[in-house]
């Protein structure tokens, strides 16, 4: 155990140094234009606004998640009702996020999420009642289970899928 | 107050106002961390320098999206991790670990002794999925939650990988296992 503590101490003291003149090279490679500042950004960071917006957003997500759409899925052999769900993933720096699941045969390019300026990706999808598995695919290469979900299932390939049960309120 | 004394958030704000020098300070502040993560993920110094530079350019162009309520360092490292995974893995002919990694001189300085290169060399032999979380946890001093966020994995996976990395590294360096 003492040896492991020594190793941890050694790691904590260690730095891998960037190449000489790295910072200069980065600055030379930056685009000539400057990022346009949104003048009201900092002004909007009032202490009461952030939690208020977060609460409002959470409420909207919950309401959207359980919003009932009284339509019948013509493609469903059982004629089950469709339920509107709202999917979200925080992925700053990503170029593309898509939603793959049992409801679209894990088809890539079918359901694309849209990003806001903070890097929050969202999509609103209508799904038939029942059990669904899904996963987010980031930039076509990274498979990410929904961090907000409570139920996961191994996909047999070393990753996990998110599992949700979707029911119309009248049928619960 | 000089730029060196300013917080990350203040530097970002200055940069968004058009002060490129402010971004230069951010580059200098985190260049070792970003480059180190890229080294762990690419296991190649030249590719790591390219990826680290790419991450900074990406961060600069997306700076408006940065939320100052969160750590700039974590945001930057997450961009680096995402870009490195996406771009580096697309290469058909991936280069193997450089055998001469530990003797290359590009990152060597006068005060770096045997211990430095022994540790660098050992970490370079770890699989990238173990080396990266180990580096973030101990060298960058990040919490497991932040390690998981940067690498896009679960917290339990981050803990597991750090433990495995530590055991393998200890074995390489002839330490006794706990």
Summarize pLDDT for B107-124 with one digit per residue, the tens: 444 455 667 888 888 998
- pLDDT at A127 > cutoff 60: yes
Q: How far is the C-alpha of A123 from the C-alpha of A163, rounded, in Å?
A: 17
ipTM topping 0.95: no
Q: Let me know if residue B43 belongs to a domain.
A: yes
Domain end residue (candidates: B65, B93, B121): B93
Which pLDDT band, with edges at 50, 70 and 90, does B151 fall under? very high
Most A CBs within 10 A among B23, B109, B128, B131, hence the mutation to make, goes to: B23
Cα–Cα distances in angstroms (integers) from residue B169 to residues A108, B28, B165, in the given order: 39, 29, 6
Q: Let me know if residue B172 belongs to a domain.
A: yes
Q: Let me know if residue B4 belongs to a domain.
A: yes
A9 touches chain B (CB under 8 A): no
The pTM assigned to this predicted structure is 0.57
Which pLDDT band, with edges at 50, 70 and 90, does B5 fall under? confident
CB B165 within 8 A of CB B136: no
pLDDT of the residue at B56: 94
Q: What is the pLDDT of residues B26-85, one digit of tens each?
A: 999 999 999 999 999 988 888 899 999 999 999 998 898 898 888 999 999 999 999 888
Q: How far is the C-alpha of A40 from the C-alpha of B13, rounded, in Å?
A: 12
Distance from CA of A50 to the nearest CA of B (A): 10
Distance from CA of B155 to the nearest CA of A (A): 11
Q: What integer best gives the mean pLDDT of chain A?
A: 76
Cα–Cα distances in angstroms (integers) from residue B59 to residues A2, A148, B14, in the given order: 40, 26, 15
pLDDT of the residue at A64: 62
pLDDT of the residue at A92: 81
Range of the domain at B121: 113-178
Question: What secondary structure letter does DSSP report for B152?
Answer: T
User: What are the tokens at A81?
Assistant: 């009702």
pLDDT of the residue at A59: 63
Q: Let me know if residue B102 belongs to a domain.
A: no
Task: For residues B73 and B136, state if they share a domain.
Answer: no
User: How many domains is chain B built from?
Assistant: 2
Q: Let me know if residue A12 belongs to a domain.
A: no
**Which residues in chain A are contacts of B23 at CB distance < 8 A?**
27, 30
**Could you give the percent of chain A with pLDDT greater than 70?**
65
Is the Cβ pair B20, A30 closer than 8 Å? yes
Q: Coil, strand, or helix at residue A49? A: helix
Distance of CA A131 to the CA centre of its chain: 20
CB B31 within 8 A of CB A18: yes
**Could you give the percent of chain B with pLDDT greater than 90?**
52
Provide the residue count of chain B: 178
Q: Let me know if residue A144 belongs to a domain.
A: yes
Is the Cβ pair B66, A92 closer than 8 Å? yes
Measured from the Cβ of residue B75, the count of other Cβ atoms closer than 10 Å reads 24
Is the Cβ pair A139, B32 closer than 8 Å? no
Pairwise pLDDT comparison (A141 vs B118), residue with the higher score: B118
pLDDT of the residue at B80: 94
Residue given tokens 């759409």 in the structure block: A69
Distance from CA of A126 to the nearest CA of B (A): 27
Range of the domain at A124: 49-171
Q: Let me know if residue B120 belongs to a domain.
A: yes
Q: Let me know if residue A114 belongs to a domain.
A: yes
Task: For residues B87 and B128, state if they share a domain.
Answer: no
Mean pLDDT of B130-154: 94
Q: What is the pLDDT of residues A34-87, one digit of tens each?
A: 555 454 555 555 556 666 666 666 666 666 655 544 444 545 544 567 888 889
- pLDDT at B130 > cutoff 90: yes
Q: Which of residues 142-171 of A touch B (CB under 8 A)?
A: 142, 144-145
Q: Let me know if residue B103 belongs to a domain.
A: no
| Alpha-carbon dihedral sign for residues A112, A113, A117, A118 | negative
The DSSP bridge pattern shows strands A111-112 and A68-72 to be unpaired
Q: Let me know if residue A29 belongs to a domain.
A: no
Is the Cβ pair A22, B17 closer than 8 Å? no
Q: Let me know if residue B160 belongs to a domain.
A: yes
Which pLDDT band, with edges at 50, 70 and 90, does B22 fall under? very high
pLDDT of the residue at A91: 85
CATH number, domain containing residue B135: 1.10.10.10
- pLDDT at A134 > cutoff 70: yes
Q: How far is the C-alpha of B145 from the C-alpha of B134, rounded, in Å?
A: 13
Mean pLDDT of B136-143: 95
Mean pLDDT of A146-158: 74
CATH number, domain containing residue B18: 1.10.1740.10
Q: How far is the C-alpha of B43 from the C-alpha of B69, rounded, in Å?
A: 32
């Amino acid at each position: 155990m003492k040896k492991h503590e020594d190793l941890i101490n050694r790691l904590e003291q260690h730095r891998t140094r960037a190449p000489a003149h790295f910072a200069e090279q980065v600055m030379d490679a930056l685009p000539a234009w400057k990022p346009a500042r949104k003048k009201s950004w900092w002004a909007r960071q009032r202490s009461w606004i952030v939690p208020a917006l977060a609460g409002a957003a959470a409420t909207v997500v919950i309401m959207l998640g359980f919003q009932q759409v009284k339509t019948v899925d013509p493609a469903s052999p059982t004629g089950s009702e469709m339920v509107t769900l709202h999917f979200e993933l925080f992925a700053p720096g990503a170029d593309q996020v898509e939603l793959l699941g049992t409801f679209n045969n894990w088809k890539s390019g079918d359901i694309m999420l849209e990003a806001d300026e903070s890097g929050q990706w969202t999509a609103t999808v209508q799904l038939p009642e029942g059990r669904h598995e899904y996963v987010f695919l980031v930039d076509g290469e990274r498979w990410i289970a929904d961090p907000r979900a409570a139920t996961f299932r191994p996909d047999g390939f070393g990753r996990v899928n998110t599992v949700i049960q979707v029911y119309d309120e009248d049928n619960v | 107050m000089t730029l060196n004394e300013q917080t990350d958030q203040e530097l970002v704000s200055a940069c968004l106002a058009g002060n490129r020098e402010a971004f230069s300070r951010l580059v200098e502040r985190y260049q070792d961390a970003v480059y180190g993560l890229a080294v762990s993920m690419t296991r190649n110094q030249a590719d790591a320098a390219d990826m680290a530079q790419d991450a900074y350019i990406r961060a600069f162009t997306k700076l408006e999206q940065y939320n100052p309520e969160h750590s700039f360092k974590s945001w930057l490292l997450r961009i680096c991790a995402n870009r490195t995974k996406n771009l580096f893995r697309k290469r058909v002919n991936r280069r193997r670990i450089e055998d001469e990694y530990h003797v290359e001189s590009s990152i060597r300085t006068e005060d770096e002794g045997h211990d430095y290169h022994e540790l660098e060399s050992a970490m370079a032999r770890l699989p990238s999925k173990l080396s990266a979380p180990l580096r973030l946890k101990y060298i960058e001093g990040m919490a497991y939650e932040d390690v998981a966020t940067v690498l896009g994995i679960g917290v339990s996976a981050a803990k597991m990988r750090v433990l495995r990395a530590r055991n393998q590294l200890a074995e390489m360096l002839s330490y006794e296992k706990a």
